[in-house]
Structure 1
Amino acid sequence: MGVFLFIVLCSVASDKGIMLEPDRPFLRVKIFERAELECCYKNAVNNGIWVKRLSSGQTEPVNLSEEVFQNYSKSNGKQCGFLTLTNAKLNDTGMYQCHFINTTVYTHGTYLQVFKPIEKTISLSESTKNKILTAEGVLLLLCVVIPSASLLFKSKKQNRLEMKKMKQEEENIYQGLNLEDCCTTYDQIERSQTQSQYQDVCTAMEEREEILEKP
């Protein structure tokens, strides 16, 4: 659509003998700053007047004042019109073109955007910013160290519980045993072994004596 409009404007301009120069397509300025628009052309009988194109597609002349004014220059057969806004406002945003009186010729135009920068909600000095960054670094370090220390502490606690449990199991093995009974049983076993040895010796002696008495 834009290319088609450009071709139509160029053809109309050629019919009237006016040759349009390329315009700056886009200009962005901060609110309350200076904005300068320019349109250049050749073979124009009269200078173009600045108009603002509305959203409906129609145009309206730019209201001139002390803060909004236009001027013209001519050199080497090329004419240029300038529109200066010394104190741009948000409602100045729009499409600006030069229009030649008694014709339907408009320059390609420049879209002006006036913006309001985001203001700082909190104004901080450099020293305050450095302190905030230092505090963030300390908090980040704590976020790393504290969980690690907690895991290490839990691991040690778990190991202690396991060792305690093993010790309790060992104690439970000997819990039902009576040491006096164990000692009595041991003594009986020892005595029986000793007596059997003595009996064997005596029996052997008696047998030998019987053998010796028989001629």
Structure 2
Amino acid sequence: MSNEDQVGIAQTNVIFEPDRPLFRVQVYHTAELKCCYRTVVNSVGSIWISHPANNKVKKELKLPEYATQNNFTVSGKSCSTLTFEPVHLNDSGFYQCLLTGSLFSHGTYLQVYKPMEKTINLSESTKNKILTAEGVLLILCVIVPSVTLLFKSSRLNELEKKKAKKEEENIYQGLNLDDCWSTYDQIERSQAHGPYQDVGNFKEEEEQIQLEKP
């Protein structure tokens, strides 16, 4: 049987389980990668292939002294684990299982990160002072706009009052006071002298009194 036939038989007899696409871990912590598959073949060789982040060529992983590989079978499912204890920054890269020399698992990208260190070491008293200052600034940010708005509203009210007073003065300036007093006198006379005669005191021999026209 040729090698191509052996590869075809292996491909039809091996089913890979889904891998974890990304595994992110802090440097110097433990990182464990796993690939699982099902097969009807009793013995299938598996090795780990690494694709380092700074290298474009896949190659067989040479396990460092802090990394271990373990193979086991559970409920008809075979798995291979790769454990870094602890993991280093240069262990970042893409990892796959290689079965029977030609079948690759889906693979997992291992991302090793280093946490940011504190650049400023502040004491508790300094932190409390900073929080107090932030609180004062927050109060000022609320009060100052409110006071400004209040002053603007008061100024607008004063301007409205001045405008109304000025319009009232302009109205009175257009009136002739002599005409107003003449009209007022006419109204007073009409109320003081009624338009009717006193019939009880009327005498024929007296001169006829002309009725005042209203």
- Fold shared per TM-score above 0.5: yes
Partner of 1:84: 83
Partner of 1:124: 122
Aligned-pair distance for 1:70? Answer: 0.6
1:38 aligns with 2:34: yes
1:48 aligns with 2:46: yes
- Give the length in aligned residue pairs: 143
The secondary structure found in structure 2 opposite 1:130 is helix
The secondary structure found in structure 2 opposite 1:70 is strand
Partner of 1:113: 111
Aligned-pair distance for 1:54? Answer: 4.6
Greater share of helix: 1
Identity among equivalent positions (%) equals 48
| Distance in 2 between residues matched to 1:62 and 1:144, nearest whole Å | 62
- The residue identity in structure 1 corresponding to 2:57 is Q
| RMSD of aligned alpha carbons | 3.1
Aligned-pair distance for 1:15? Answer: 3.0
| Distance in 2 between residues matched to 1:62 and 1:54, nearest whole Å | 10
Is 2:36–2:79's contact at 8 Å kept on the other side of the alignment? yes
- The residue identity in structure 2 corresponding to 1:131 is K
Unmatched 5+ stretches in structure 1: 1-10, 156-215
Is 1:12–1:105's contact at 8 Å kept on the other side of the alignment? no
Is 2:11–2:103's contact at 8 Å kept on the other side of the alignment? no
Aligned-pair distance for 1:139? Answer: 4.2
1:15 aligns with 2:11: yes
Query: Cα gap change, 1:114/1:54 in structure 2, threshold over 3 Å: closer, same or farther?
Result: closer
| Distance in 2 between residues matched to 1:20 and 1:12, nearest whole Å | 15
Aligned-pair distance for 1:145? Answer: 6.5
Query: Cα gap change, 1:67/1:135 in structure 2, threshold over 3 Å: closer, same or farther?
Result: same
Aligned-pair distance for 1:24? Answer: 1.1
Query: Cα gap change, 1:35/1:54 in structure 2, threshold over 3 Å: closer, same or farther?
Result: closer
* Structure of greater Rg: 1
Partner of 1:62: 61
